[in-house]
Amino acid sequence: MELLSTEEAAGYLRLHIKRVQALARAGRLPGRRVGRKWLFDRRDLEELLGRPRSRIEPVAGLDLSARNQLRGTIVSVAVEGVMAEVRIRIGEQELVSVITRGSAERLRLAAGDEVIAVIKSTEIMIGREPGAA
C-alpha cells in the first residue's frame, strides 16, 4: 500500500488541494483521515481513474457551475503562437473555441477526440478526462 499525502494526491489527480480535501470529506474520494491530515491509497486513486468508460462521463471531483456542457468530437486543432483554435462538431453544428496553446498541449487535443465544451457567458472551455488519449 502506497499512501499519498493530500498534496501528492492533488498532483496525481491534477486537482487543487482544497478540492481533494472537500471530495474526501464528502466521501466522493477514497481517503483516510489521520489526525488533521488526509491520506490516500494510490491503488484506490488508480482504480478511480482507471475505470473503463464507453463515453466521457463527469470526472469525480469535476463539478462545474456551468450547466451548458456539450459533448462533441474535435474536427481540428490549429495552433499558432500562444493560442489554439479548436473546432468541435456537436451534432450538425460546429463550435469554435480559442484556448491557450498550453491548455491544448496539456489536454493533448487532436482531431477525432471526444471532448466536453463548457459554455459560460461568452467563454467556451474544453474539458477532457484524465487518461483519455
78-105 tens-digit pLDDT: 999 999 999 999 988 999 999 999 999 9
Please report, for residues 18, 38, 55, 74, the alpha-carbon distance to residue 41 in angstroms, rounded to integers and kept in the order given.
Answer: 18, 10, 26, 35
Strand, coil or helix: 106: helix
Spans of all domains in the chain: 3-49, 68-127
pTM beyond cutoff 0.85? no
Residue 19 CB-density burial (10 A; 0-12 exposed, 13-18 middle, 19+ buried): middle
Q: What is the pLDDT of residues 23-77, one digit of tens each?
A: 998 888 998 888 888 999 888 888 887 744 334 444 555 566 666 778 899 999 9
CATH number for region 68-127: 2.40.50.100
Strand residue runs (E) in the chain:
3-5, 32-34, 37-41, 68-80, 83-90, 93-100, 114-120, 123-127
